[in-house]
Structure 1
């Protein structure tokens, strides 16, 4: 590699790293507790516990219309937006309700999936510790523009990683792989450690960086999907009045399950929400394996008569989004993968912190060298003047 090419890559690595480092440190620090959000939620008392029921009741599943009625009894002035069931907590149906189908000030409540009775309102939002960590990590409390800004920082991280790899190869020709030179200056030791941890966390940082960028585009990708495939699927309903009386949810879900054998209901979107249409329920089915449980297949059900009108696989970009979300936080492999993700997160914090340290030390060293050069020039100037005077 020529010196000019090496200098170009060095410039790219330097500035892409400097611009994104502070924000990447913020994302790593806030992402660490989010890896263990369920465990921390239990410690903080934010997770609800399933009520004790008899062995017979434990095997039952409440009629979905009864589940919805429990929510409406709690909030008669609100409409249903979504209902979902977590694979890790099958004892609950979680209902999302608002003043209208796109209400941002929604409420969330848990209903016993076995008895159909209201249980509690999970304290998801409200300024708690995990809520603050989530918003700092996702959108900096700035909505869509905050997400897009963090996505751009993620792109700069990917550029910094790639340029770092390009620079690492010629640098390590003079050293053994992973060598950390002791007995020299602190800056040199931190440089070696920075390079070593950077290579060790390379694949993980690329995965988390790329999936993070994809996640920031979630709102945009959903709008693209709504404007293309959803619009195509609902053409026959254009011009028809919005239904005021909705069909049975129990019947709708049973028909969706019959149409997709071997799949389970992940969540249900009600008419008018972004994941449905003004005339349909969006019943989202998923598999029961670690990977397929994250891949959804929408089944559109006519909200007036519970008849299936369309079902198709999600477009590739939404599939990439759904796969990237759990991969970003290490949700695929249980406690072992969570621990690995946390360990690599800490290592990345050290890489980012050491990068800032090296940049600051290098700047100070340059300033010191410049001052010494000026001092030396000042000492030489009188001698030259005296020599001229002697002549």
Structure 2
């Protein structure tokens, strides 16, 4: 954005403040623009990841399942998983929120093997039929998700993208600080088409930026929080989880695991108004070697994302403790679906996609305006070298 660059007015405190905000807006935008374009372009199809995976065949098809058939016991589900992949052990059992009859059983070589190496067994809860295995790590959607989440660099990639998200938030805040002084007495939405082309682009850039402000703040903040997921999980494991399982620290592991149906019935009795989301088997990353962790969630669209772990003794099947997760884990659980608009079904996803496209245009237009400004500055420095030096512009 251009401000007066000569004379006493330039040294006025409020103009000096505007110059600082302008520099912050320019450089934070330049630092993160390339990566934000990548994130917006990859994030656009990821908004519809569930629909795309179904259409491309990477999610099990439950449309031909036995409607009305009674659900089998969870112990039968465990047996079916072990029959499908003998020699492996169950780490987790997940219950799909969008497909209530689908159970995903994650199995590994050992109970503590890396979860990224797990194999999934999909089971139709109606009758216990083993389905074609889901392929969450295969296909174009998985490729885009990995690129979007960490640039294929693991935790360093996530933290780097978190830094880019922070720059994005600084660019938004500085843009808001500049909006009022820059627009002056112009009516909201005014686009000055009769002047130079870059003036019209600047007006449009400001209009789209202020119109998408709330959405960009939400997506930028949730994106930054999501990059800290691994660190938050480790903090929870070393904090609340260690405290909840402290008295079992020196206890031997279970000689024989309790019936999963018994384990879940005790967890449900302690939280009767909540739904089953995930079961972590004793020794896996989300629990201790002595406990099942049964993660329960609320019934409303908002509380369905907030998990409450019930720790159940792995040998006796009795409830040990039930607690709300700490605030930082709750913030993470709310951020993950909100980032992709996964709260209000297809209408909200379409709105998210439109706002994503608007942000792509905003980034491109900002880059165009910076290039125009640089060209004008260079041309001015060449034409008036002494003035450029006096004003603090480089004289080339």
TM-score, scaled to structure 1 = 0.92
Which runs of structure 2 are paired with 1:208-219 in the superposition (5 Å)?
208-219=219-230
Matched, 1:10 2:29: no
Alpha-carbon offset, residue 3 of structure 1: 1.4
1:96 is matched with which residue? 106
Unaligned runs of 5+ in 2: 1-12, 386-396
Secondary structure class of the residue paired with 1:108 = strand
Alpha-carbon offset, residue 52 of structure 1: 3.3
Out of 22, 27, 40, the residue aligned to residue 52 of structure 2 is: 40
What do residues 195-248 of structure 1 show as CA deviations (whole Å, max 9, x unaligned)? 110000000000011111111111111111111111111111111222342111
Higher mean displacement: 16-25 or 358-367: 358-367
Secondary structure class of the residue paired with 1:310 = strand
Distance 1:21 1:55 in 2: 49
Which runs of structure 2 are paired with 1:53-64 in the superposition (5 Å)?
53-57=65-69, 60-64=70-74
Distance change >3 Å, CA 129–CA 55, structure 1 → 2: closer
Flag the structure with larger Rg: 1
On the 8 A contact 1:96/1:106 being kept in 2, the answer is yes
Higher mean displacement: 1-10 or 337-346: 1-10
Distance 1:222 1:197 in 2: 37
What do residues 42-79 of structure 1 show as CA deviations (whole Å, max 9, x unaligned)? 2222222116354551xx11111110111111111211
May I ask how many residue pairs the two structures share in their alignment? 371
Which runs of structure 2 are paired with 1:121-200 in the superposition (5 Å)?
121-126=133-138, 128-200=139-211
Which runs of structure 2 are paired with 1:219-234 in the superposition (5 Å)?
219-234=230-245
Secondary structure class of the residue paired with 1:356 = helix
Alpha-carbon offset, residue 283 of structure 1: 0.1
On the 8 A contact 2:71/2:125 being kept in 1, the answer is yes
Alpha-carbon offset, residue 373 of structure 1: 4.5
Matched, 1:365 2:376: yes
Secondary structure class of the residue paired with 2:131 = strand
2:247 is matched with which residue? 236
On the 8 A contact 1:272/1:279 being kept in 2, the answer is yes
2:265 is matched with which residue? 254
2:305 is matched with which residue? 294
Unaligned runs of 5+ in 1: 375-391
TM-score, scaled to structure 2 = 0.91
Alpha-carbon offset, residue 183 of structure 1: 2.4
1:110 is matched with which residue? 122
C-alpha RMSD of the superposition: 1.4
Secondary structure class of the residue paired with 1:285 = strand
What do residues 15-67 of structure 1 show as CA deviations (whole Å, max 9, x unaligned)? 1111111111111111100111112122222222116354551xx11111110
On the 8 A contact 2:296/2:308 being kept in 1, the answer is yes
Distance 1:53 1:217 in 2: 39
On the 8 A contact 2:312/2:319 being kept in 1, the answer is yes
Alpha-carbon offset, residue 334 of structure 1: 1.0
Which runs of structure 2 are paired with 1:305-344 in the superposition (5 Å)?
305-344=316-355
On the 8 A contact 1:78/1:98 being kept in 2, the answer is yes
Alpha-carbon offset, residue 336 of structure 1: 1.1
Distance change >3 Å, CA 164–CA 53, structure 1 → 2: closer
Secondary structure class of the residue paired with 1:120 = coil
2:4 is matched with which residue? none
Secondary structure class of the residue paired with 2:369 = helix
Distance 1:230 1:91 in 2: 30
On the 8 A contact 2:89/2:108 being kept in 1, the answer is yes
On the 8 A contact 1:102/1:272 being kept in 2, the answer is no
Distance change >3 Å, CA 181–CA 51, structure 1 → 2: closer
